[in-house]
Structure 1
Amino acid sequence: MKLVKSLLLGTAAGLATVAGAQAADLPVKKAIPIEYVRVCGAYGAGFFYIPGTDTCLRVGGRARFEAGYMTEGTRNAAGAGDASQFRGLARINVDARTQTGYGTLRAFLRVEIASRTGQSKMSSGTQLRIANAFFATGQDSFGRVQEYVTADKAFVQFAGLTAGRASSFFDFYAHDFEIIGSTLGSDVPSTNLLAYTAKFGEGWSATLSMEDPNFRKNPLYSQAAGTAPGAGTASSLFVGTNAPTPVILARNAAGAVVAVGQIDAVERSRLPDFVGALRYDAAWGSAQVSAAVKDINTGGPLLTNANLFVAGPAAARIGTGAYYGSQTTYGWAVQGGLKVNAPFIAPGDALYLQGAYGEGASIYTGYTSFTGTYANQTAVYGGNPFNQWLADAVVNPNTGRVELSNSFTVVGSYLHYWSPQWRSAFFGSYGEMRFPNGVRTALAQIGTAGLANAAGTAYPTTNLITSAPGTAGFALSPVLRDTYQVVAGASLIWSPVKDLDIGAEAQYIRVGTLNGRVTNSDRSTTVGGLPLYPVTAQDTFQTRFRVQRDF
């Protein structure tokens, strides 16, 4: 037995020696080092180093559900009757930062995708007009269903420079505490810009920004389209536009209008908007003063024959009428804002106060926030009594010159924490918009009876003011009427865990004329051709419920 054990041990030892010798002849491979993701603490929570680089990255996002309700008029008007709205939204954020000898190099991206429904506010005409949303084609032909994909943010920041798609530097409060976001005040979260910010002193900064003008252009007043008859030949009224505005070319000895032309009222992109902001930030809060200037332009005449719409012999006409060419003028706006932190009331409490005034700059003052933007008139809600006019400017038909509307807004918003899990916002705003004196009267003098050319062919001039000055029809017309708006509301939000919000908000909105009454288009009852129930204002309510998770 001892002999067998000795033989086995000897054989095993021999095999081990041979195997060791063979292994010594093989090449040795080093294990590939594993590079673990490291936490980057330089820029706050959530950042990590991209493996193999010195760039810190944070990926986040948002999931949101919203359901809304808004009071509507009767179903006499097209699209009225849709009181409920819904929206589902997805957001992805990517924030990349690298420390350099010039400071932090940052790139930030945010993409939003949403599906929203309903005829009023949740499914937004403003977003369609600015190409942030598109119709979901199918059975619905009124735009109640919208799909929404946008590059909400895409900018680079380096050594004081901000370049790309970002929030306008003019803005301050920007509906920070609101769910619906309808108070009157400037809020353009996505525009294309190139800006430089200089910091100085303790908490002071100054910014000069060149911003895309297309996100701040509210259209000029324009009339309905038509085709003009020629003297023996057909002649188109329009040259590459569908927004004409009238100009009185001549009157006869009695003062009656005998020659009318049309000017191209579509604004082209000629110059960027220039924005300047001075800001102060401290532990108690922040303050900002900002200003903006923008160009407002019109094209030339839309006639192929300047005498096409002249009635009567030349000897009966006096003067050459209005200026009749393209022109550029400048709108402007100023804004001041103050934020005061109020931890002495409750941790997280804060108060915003803001006011703005502008001429030819209704989107900068934020007067269009609730009713709608990128339209010279729009309905307050489906089936509403009258449309609100929001044009930045009007071409005076007597002079042919662009004259600016003016607007102002004031807003206050307070956020209060009842407890760490419960909070409420209370907010209110007021604004007014006024149009140049005399323009409505001049437009009404053109009338709708029509003129004739030298051959006697009638030209039915289109005019949105259909009644002569001094008549009840003229007094009750809503076209280019000075208006005011009130928006007030409150919310209650519960956050049972971090980054989860479940809440609701309710608003009251009132839109009215600053003087006189207007026809109630929601009621067709008339006496002697005049409305039986003219109105001075319209009221509506809206509510919205939200469930939102940020990560």
Structure 2
Amino acid sequence: MKLVKSLLLGSAAGLTVVAGAHAADLPIKKAAPVEYVRVCSAYGAGFFFVPGTDTCLRVSGRARFEAGYSQGYQRGGNNGDLMGYRGLGRLNLDARTQTAYGTLRAFVRFELASRTGAYLNSGTQQRIANAFPALGVDTFGRAQQYVNVDKAFIQFAGLTAGRAASFYDFYAHDFEIIGTSLGSDVASTNLLAYTATFGNGFSATLSVEDPTFRKNPLFGTATAGNAASQFAVFTAAATNLSPVIATNAAGVPIGEAFYDLRQTNRMPDFVGALRYDAAWGSAQLSAAVHELNAQNATTVLTFGGAAIPAGTVVTPRVNSEYGWAVQGGLKFNLPFIAAGDSLYLQGSYGEGAQIYTGYSQYIGTYTASAGNTQGSPFAAYFTDAAVNPLTGKMELSTSWTVVGSYLHYWTPEVRSAIIGSYGEMSFGKTSRNLLGALNFNGLGNPVNSPGAFAYSAALRDTSQIVAGASIIWSPVKDLDIGVEGLYNRVDLKGGRVVDQNKAPGQVPVGLNAAGVPTNANGVALPTTNYADTFQVRMRVQRDF
């Protein structure tokens, strides 16, 4: 045993000597120094230097839960949801580097949400390709996933390029839980802009912006939102047709040419803004120019319904027009009332540029018409133009909105907002009358069925009010728990229409001796001249 123990100890000693000899022959390699993350204080709290670079980065985000109740009148089809829910996540990346030309900045924001039920399932976002719907029997039209590159822009030496908020906007619903007061708010569009700073708070911006996010449909037969062809626009051969009296080369009327009013991107929108910022608040004056265009005629028929012979010269053609809008806004900081208090006042007017005035903000954008609630008595119309069937020229709609919003801090933890807005939208009477004479798009023929024309909601002038209030509690920094209530009313500016809530799907075909519209069976139909609704919603939100 002693012999074995001596052999083992001797072997271990020998191995140790050999290993030491080999180790002495190897070069000594120092470990690379560890580069710790350093705080970057140049751009505010939360920034740090990206290791190995001189770029400062801030990572932030948001988590949110929302629930809402919306008044509804019908339970048919996809109607019937009174409650809605939404869970939302946001991730922000803000990278900044100091250069000889000033700060080079890149900002990216992603938003993801699961939305269900009334109102929070947004048709507006679905129409603009920011959301996709569920397809199940019980979920179609009431469940939706929202995926959006909300921001992705570069700023350098006065240049802004990428996906950002439109430079036309000012108030943009800053004090609202969900932005629904009347007024422009295009938070995500593609643009290329230059901002010149003159000192003393003055600046000016010229922005070339993507027109897609400001296109509201022209008035035609197959526009999303018109019930008879709600799904036609999603097919490959979708059209949005409007008739124009066709004449031959000699100027003789020979039939009707049905022009495709779907708009394409030919010219960008041009936006200009003058801004002033000071300790008392801010002021901005902005303007925009927006092209409206149409495609060629898809079908040409004689007045008898037969096809026009091949080779016939057909005039006129629907030429492009230019809509425009102007907006002025003021923001007042009111610390003498309470720390953090402020007031926004804003007004906007436009022709052929309804999304710039924001008249459809509450009810829904990127559609020709929509009701303000499920089972609404009638649909309000938001089209930017209608084509005159005699001249082939676009008649631009006009719209204007005003909004006031006041934020008050009752305590540093509790605040409230009061919001009030009003607007009007008007259409050219000539096109409505002529299209009605052609029995176009349900307007009805004023000779054969005067009730259909007189009591149709299509292209009717309207006014609208959206008002509300909220209260929000922030028990700790960056946590909001709040509730908000809103009231909306749409009024016809003249006349009455058939109440689709009380007589759904009924179309007037005539008038009785008392001048009341009747259906095909001679039964008098109920009418109305307004539609109103209300909503209540709550939010729990954490920013980090």
TM-score normalised according to structure 1 size: 0.85
| 8 Å CA contact retained: 1:322, 1:400 | no
> What is residue 266 of structure 1 aligned with on the other side?
262
Deviations 1:409-448 (A, max 9, x none): 000000000001000000100000000122211111112x
| 8 Å CA contact retained: 1:80, 1:382 | yes
Q: What is the letter of the counterpart of residue 463 of structure 1? A: N
> What is residue 342 of structure 1 aligned with on the other side?
334
Q: What is the letter of the counterpart of residue 85 of structure 1? A: G
In 2 relative to 1, CA 535–212 (structure 1 residues): closer, same or farther, beyond 3 Å?
A: same
Aligned pairs for 1:354-373 (under 5 A) are 354-373=346-365
Deviations 1:475-507 (A, max 9, x none): 211010001110000000000000000000000
In 2 relative to 1, CA 20–208 (structure 1 residues): closer, same or farther, beyond 3 Å?
A: same
Aligned-residue offset at 1:137: 2.7
3-state secondary structure, aligned to 1:126: helix
Question: What is the distance in 2 between the residues matched to 1:62 and 1:278?
Answer: 32
| 8 Å CA contact retained: 2:349, 2:399 | yes
Aligned-residue offset at 1:81: 1.6
Aligned-residue offset at 1:368: 1.0
1:324 correspondence with 2:316? yes
Could you tell me which runs of 5 or more consecutive residues in structure 1 were left unpaired when the two chains were aligned: 1-16, 226-237, 252-256, 315-319, 448-461
| 8 Å CA contact retained: 2:451, 2:518 | no
Question: What is the distance in 2 between the residues matched to 1:322 and 1:405?
Answer: 27
| 8 Å CA contact retained: 1:156, 1:164 | yes
Between 523-532 and 154-163, the greater mean CA deviation after superposition? 523-532
Aligned-residue offset at 1:307: 4.8
Question: What is the distance in 1 between the residues matched to 2:361 and 2:524?
Answer: 30
Number of aligned pairs?
495
> What is residue 298 of structure 1 aligned with on the other side?
294
Q: What is the letter of the counterpart of residue 353 of structure 1? A: L
> What is residue 276 of structure 1 aligned with on the other side?
272
> What is residue 239 of structure 2 aligned with on the other side?
242
Question: What is the distance in 2 between the residues matched to 1:517 and 1:117?
Answer: 34
> What is residue 12 of structure 1 aligned with on the other side?
none
In 2 relative to 1, CA 204–322 (structure 1 residues): closer, same or farther, beyond 3 Å?
A: farther
Question: What is the distance in 2 between the residues matched to 1:19 and 1:394?
Answer: 92
Deviations 1:296-321 (A, max 9, x none): 01112122xx4544479x9xxxxx99
Aligned-residue offset at 1:261: 2.5
Aligned-residue offset at 1:19: 12
Q: What is the letter of the counterpart of residue 261 of structure 2? A: A
TM-score normalised according to structure 2 size: 0.86
Question: What is the distance in 2 between the residues matched to 1:241 and 1:294?
Answer: 24
1:428 correspondence with 2:420? yes
Question: What is the distance in 1 between the residues matched to 2:20 and 2:139?
Answer: 82
Aligned-residue offset at 1:520: 0.4
Matching residue within 386, 394, 402 for 1:394: 386
Q: What is the letter of the counterpart of residue 541 of structure 1? A: F
1:34 correspondence with 2:34? yes
| 8 Å CA contact retained: 1:247, 1:322 | no
3-state secondary structure, aligned to 1:214: helix
| 8 Å CA contact retained: 1:224, 1:464 | no
> What is residue 104 of structure 1 aligned with on the other side?
103
Q: What is the letter of the counterpart of residue 342 of structure 1? A: L
In 2 relative to 1, CA 531–351 (structure 1 residues): closer, same or farther, beyond 3 Å?
A: farther
> What is residue 454 of structure 1 aligned with on the other side?
none
Question: What is the distance in 2 between the residues matched to 1:390 and 1:23?
Answer: 83
Question: What is the distance in 1 between the residues matched to 2:442 and 2:125?
Answer: 26
In 2 relative to 1, CA 323–30 (structure 1 residues): closer, same or farther, beyond 3 Å?
A: same
Question: What is the distance in 1 between the residues matched to 2:206 and 2:374?
Answer: 40
Question: What is the distance in 2 between the residues matched to 1:309 and 1:441?
Answer: 19
> What is residue 550 of structure 1 aligned with on the other side?
543
Could you tell me which runs of 5 or more consecutive residues in structure 2 were left unpaired when the two chains were aligned: 1-16, 224-234, 507-516
Question: What is the distance in 1 between the residues matched to 2:236 and 2:438?
Answer: 22
Between 238-247 and 512-521, the greater mean CA deviation after superposition? 238-247
Q: What is the letter of the counterpart of residue 362 of structure 1? A: Q
Deviations 1:21-73 (A, max 9, x none): 99876533323211111000000000000011100000000000000001001
Q: What is the letter of the counterpart of residue 47 of structure 1? A: F
Question: What is the distance in 2 between the residues matched to 1:214 and 1:280?
Answer: 29
Question: What is the distance in 1 between the residues matched to 2:216 and 2:21?
Answer: 87
In 2 relative to 1, CA 390–68 (structure 1 residues): closer, same or farther, beyond 3 Å?
A: same
3-state secondary structure, aligned to 1:327: coil
3-state secondary structure, aligned to 1:420: coil
> What is residue 143 of structure 1 aligned with on the other side?
141
1:222 correspondence with 2:232? no
Aligned-residue offset at 1:524: 2.0
